[in-house]
Amino acid sequence: LAKTTQPISMDSYEGQEVNITCSHNNIATNDYITWYQQFPSQGPRFIIQGYKTKVTNEVASLFIPADRKSSTLSLPRVSLSDTAVYYCLVGGGTNAGKSTFGDGTTLTVKP
């Protein structure tokens, strides 16, 4: 199973773009990359998912290079409410249920 590595914490200011990178060197061919957001004492919330290249939705973009050994979650113009823990999750396919949550990145957005 692919192990993920993310920065433990990041600080940003309101209105800035934030990029969080996740390393997953052992990603398997049928693995997807999914990012979740979690606020204290709440369940994780899906942000975005991708397999390769770039995916964009209304809240974030996900950049995946050709070798898929890393991925970058991009949050445009963050606000104070984006302060949370962000998890990169690699898995899916036949190993779906065993997808591993890493330690997550605690993002703190300052005014």
Partner 1 sequence: DSGVTQTPKHLITATGQRVTLRCSPRSGDLSVYWYQQSLDQGLQFLIQYYNGEERAKGNILERFSAQQFPDLHSELNLSSLELGDSALYFCASSTHPDGNTEAFFGQGTRLTVV
Residues that bind partner 1 in the complex, under the rule CB under 8 A:
32, 34, 41-46, 49, 87, 89, 91-104
Q: Closest Cα partner for 9 from 79, 108, 81, 75?
A: 108
Min separation Cβ 54 and partner 1, Å: 18
Residue carrying structure tokens 């949370």: 84
Cβ proximity to partner 1: between 44 and 62 the closer is: 44
Q: How far is the CB of 9 from partner 1 (least distance, A)?
A: 14
The nearest distance, CB 88 to partner 1, in angstroms, is 12
Written as six digits, the tokens of 66 are 């050709």
Q: Which of helix, strand or coil describes residue 67?
A: coil
If the CB atoms of residues 12 and 99 are measured against partner 1, the closer one turns out to be 99
Residue with smaller CB distance to partner 1, 75 or 91: 91
Min dist. Cβ of residue 31 to partner 1 (A):
8
36 within 8 A of 46, measured Cβ to Cβ = yes
Q: How far apart, in Å, are the Cα atoms of 12 and each of 15, 49, 86, 96?
A: 9, 23, 14, 33
